[in-house]
């Protein structure tokens, strides 16, 4: 963990946390206001602080870090695509570029997404739009990656267009409902106000 920044961890079950960084969950927690403003900025601070790990040669790591040794075999069932730093085990997926972009636009930090787009532009077209990249630094095209992948192309194009017209991102963003937040705050501070008299409901029977 860097000195500045943070992220939301995965809760697999009671007392069983997954402390890896999952990009999809964290990006959408920003976009859908599941994270507070401070938490959202902390997630983007983490992206900047861990740029060499999360972006490197191609945005963006689907999770970080990778499961290694025997752990990846146990968790993934030994799927050969999911060796460390590949595919769903910390592979780098260009399609995540547009989701990063929406999160950055919402928090008024588009420069992070612009920087990531410039990294992608150095290789993505030249590599024929692969599905994902392998290795810790995303140096190589994924060993089982499909080329000319629609969502890789779409991810880049949507990111590029949203950065050119940030207002278009509004259709993807859910702002926090302040009325609902105030109501929840009120009920939390006044638990007695939630008590309601229970009316007896007549039961109906179908014969």
DSSP string for 98-160: HHHHHHHHHTT-HHHHHHHHHHHHTTTTTTT--S-EESTT--EE-TTPPSS-HHHHHHHHHHH
Q: Which residues of 88-123 are buried (b: 16+ CB within 10 A; e: fewer)?
A: bbbbbbbbbbbbbbbbbbbbebbebbeebbebbeeb
Contact between 30 and 9 under an 8 Å Cβ cutoff? The reply is no
How confident is the model over 131-153, as pLDDT tens digits? 999 999 999 999 999 999 999 99
Q: What is the mean pLDDT of the chain?
A: 90
- 182-195: average pLDDT: 72
Q: Is the peptide bond before 65 cis (omega within 30 degrees of 0)?
A: yes
Largest CA distance in the chain: 72
How confident is the model over 43-89, as pLDDT tens digits? 999 999 999 999 999 999 999 999 998 888 888 778 888 999 999 99
Q: How high is the pLDDT of residue 195? A: 56
Is the entire prediction scored with pTM above 0.95? Answer: no
Give me the residue label for tokens 């999360």.
54
Q: Which of 79, 84, 95, 86 is nearest to 130 (CA)?
A: 95
How confident is the model over 77-128, as pLDDT tens digits? 788 889 999 999 999 999 999 999 999 999 999 999 999 999 999 999 999 9
Give the single-character DSSP code of 95.
G
Confidence check: pLDDT of 205 > 50: no
CA distances from 207 to 48, 56, 202, 203, 204 (A): 66, 69, 16, 13, 10
How confident is the model over 149-185, as pLDDT tens digits? 999 999 999 999 999 999 999 999 988 777 777 777 7
Confidence check: pLDDT of 200 > 60: no
Q: Is the peptide bond before 60 cis (omega within 30 degrees of 0)?
A: yes
């Amino acid at each position: 963990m860097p000195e500045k920044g943070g992220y939301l961890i995965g809760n697999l079950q009671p007392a069983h946390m997954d402390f890896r960084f999952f990009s999809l969950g964290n990006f959408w927690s920003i976009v859908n206001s599941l994270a507070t403003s401070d938490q959202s900025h902390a997630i983007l601070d983490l992206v900047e602080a861990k740029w060499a790990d999360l972006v490197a040669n191609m945005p963006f790591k689907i999770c970080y870090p990778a499961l290694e040794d025997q752990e990846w075999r146990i968790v993934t069932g030994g799927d050969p695509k999911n060796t460390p730093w590949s595919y769903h085990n910390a592979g780098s997926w260009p399609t995540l570029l547009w989701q990063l972009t929406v999160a950055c636009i919402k928090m008024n930090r588009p420069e992070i997404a612009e920087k990531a787009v410039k990294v992608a532009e150095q290789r993505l077209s030249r590599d024929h739009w692969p599905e994902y990249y392998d290795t810790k630094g995303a140096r190589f095209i994924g060993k089982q990656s499909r080329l000319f992948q629609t969502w890789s192309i779409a991810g880049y194009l949507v990111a590029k267009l949203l950065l050119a017209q940030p207002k278009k991102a509004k259709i993807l963003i859910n702002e926090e409902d302040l009325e609902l937040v105030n109501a929840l705050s009120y009920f939390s501070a006044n638990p007695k106000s939630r008590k309601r008299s229970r009316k007896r409901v007549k039961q109906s029977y179908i014969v």
